[in-house]
Structure 1
């Protein structure tokens, strides 16, 4: 009887771990529309592919095929890698992402676990624009501006939202990319940031009965700012997930 009980428990544990491993390596593209009263009519719609926290994973060719030709910009929300990830794998991921469209990157905490110059070199090789407390502006024929801002990693005290805002200049529809969603605490109403894109939390990664160390990834609004915190694509520490599926995002921005 004891043997049967132990066998059942072990079988359940093995089955659960296998499920968690399979979930952690699954692929998902979430299609999300976000409308804003201040989105410029002259841009029509802007479509973003957002991915964060790749860590040790190799980006699926299925995802690349699914979103290629459907988005205007690709945004990497940090943690392209972590310690002991071969730079060749990182390069393959960057190459795949740049095949989707013009690509922009912000630093995450784990990106600094290797020599940053190595990652810099690969990003430069594939023409990826690094947003490190800087901004890039796109202008429509009517003179409206779409502004993409990015800040460096908060945990290493490298984040300077003030510099990114200064680089962005006045006006324009502003989208801020920050690996760590804690940037929310620094945003002021007068900054006129309409959307924040973040990752870092992995949605808690392993949630027991719905509870985890962080909130599940979600889109929410705080005042006039929409905030998307992604579950991310990869895992850290353990290659397992439970109750927090990996995700990437195709985000359509349009006028309300």
Structure 2
């Protein structure tokens, strides 16, 4: 009898812990634990006197009830309050979520982002789900996708293998963005063609949805900015069961430096596959270039 009582008590404890963990992973961490993470760095050959504050938003995965237009607007308002010189949207606006109550209409999530502004603009790239979850673009085999149209409707340019020069405080820099590397139709990215548009020695800021391009990025690029991995989305005792990268955990999250080259990978905002985050809360990322390095 005592053994049976102990067994039932242990079983009840296990069930309670499992339910509590699931509740946290579904209803608390993905929604209530949004944080702001700041990285400060001065890449090699960065011009003295050039300071840039970038605000990065990645992987919304808009869907109901997990990432509604109302929630996206709240995130955008929080990002706007950070007063970036630029706001960079790093792809995967569409859901990728099979366990959802439905999609958020593109005009609704775009309207939720329409309040974003910055002295040097709001700029975007697309992610793999912005193709895979667009039946019309998939059937046609080409864009413009629904995300292209939605962002154009609020005046946000999409960088599909494009580089643009900008000037601040007498210093030039380039903003470049790659088309998606793992689109379900075919790879669309063109790193050499994109960098060929850069006509001088000014530093390049590169937006690339998937961080897997980083080994091919030359030191000509000051910093590469990515999302896609969600930081693994679920992290238990330091282990990440699934990271959508051919490099495993190498580029899962954070500030990575290899041979003097800098990569920053956002853990993103939404969820994909399953509506859970555990050990990897959603985040808005701030990158301060030309600032003292982060501790």
> Structure 2 CA distance, aligned partners of 1:14 and 1:201?
26
Structure 1: gaps spanning 5 or more residues: none
Task: Tell me if the contact between 2:43 and 2:223 (Cα under 8 Å) persists in the aligned partners.
Answer: no
In the alignment, which residue of structure 2 is the partner of 1:126?
Answer: 154
> Structure 2 CA distance, aligned partners of 1:166 and 1:42?
26
> Structure 1 CA distance, aligned partners of 2:29 and 2:111?
22
In the alignment, which residue of structure 2 is the partner of 1:117?
Answer: 145
Task: Tell me if the contact between 1:147 and 1:174 (Cα under 8 Å) persists in the aligned partners.
Answer: yes
> Structure 2 CA distance, aligned partners of 1:210 and 1:255?
30
> Given the two structures, how large is their TM-score scaled by the length of structure 2?
0.78
2:196 aligns to what SS in structure 1?
Answer: helix
> Structure 2 CA distance, aligned partners of 1:31 and 1:221?
16
Shift of 1:220: 1.7
Task: Tell me if the contact between 2:43 and 2:262 (Cα under 8 Å) persists in the aligned partners.
Answer: no
In the alignment, which residue of structure 2 is the partner of 1:72?
Answer: 85
In the alignment, which residue of structure 1 is the partner of 2:94?
Answer: 81
> Given the two structures, how large is their TM-score scaled by the length of structure 1?
0.89
1:97 aligns to what SS in structure 2?
Answer: coil
Task: Tell me if the contact between 2:95 and 2:103 (Cα under 8 Å) persists in the aligned partners.
Answer: yes
Structure 1 segment 24-35 matched on structure 2, within 5 A:
24-25=30-31, 26-35=33-42
Structure 1 segment 40-189 matched on structure 2, within 5 A:
40-43=47-50, 45-56=51-62, 57=67, 58-59=71-72, 61=74, 64-65=77-78, 67-68=80-81, 70-83=83-96, 84-86=102-104, 87-98=106-117, 102-112=121-131, 113-114=133-134, 115=136, 116-140=144-168, 142=170, 144-156=171-183, 157-189=187-219
In the alignment, which residue of structure 1 is the partner of 2:246?
Answer: none
> Structure 1 CA distance, aligned partners of 2:72 and 2:272?
16
Cα deviations across residues 142-165 of structure 1 (Å, max 9, x unaligned)? 4x3111110011012100011211
Shift of 1:62: 6.0
Structure 2: gaps spanning 5 or more residues: 97-101, 137-143, 244-248
Query: How many residue pairs align between the two structures?
Result: 252
2:25 aligns to what SS in structure 1?
Answer: helix
* Shift in alpha-carbon separation, 1:101–1:81, aligned structure 2, 3 A: farther
Is 220-229 or 124-133 further displaced after alignment?
A: 220-229
Shift of 1:123: 0.8
- RMSD of aligned alpha carbons: 2.2
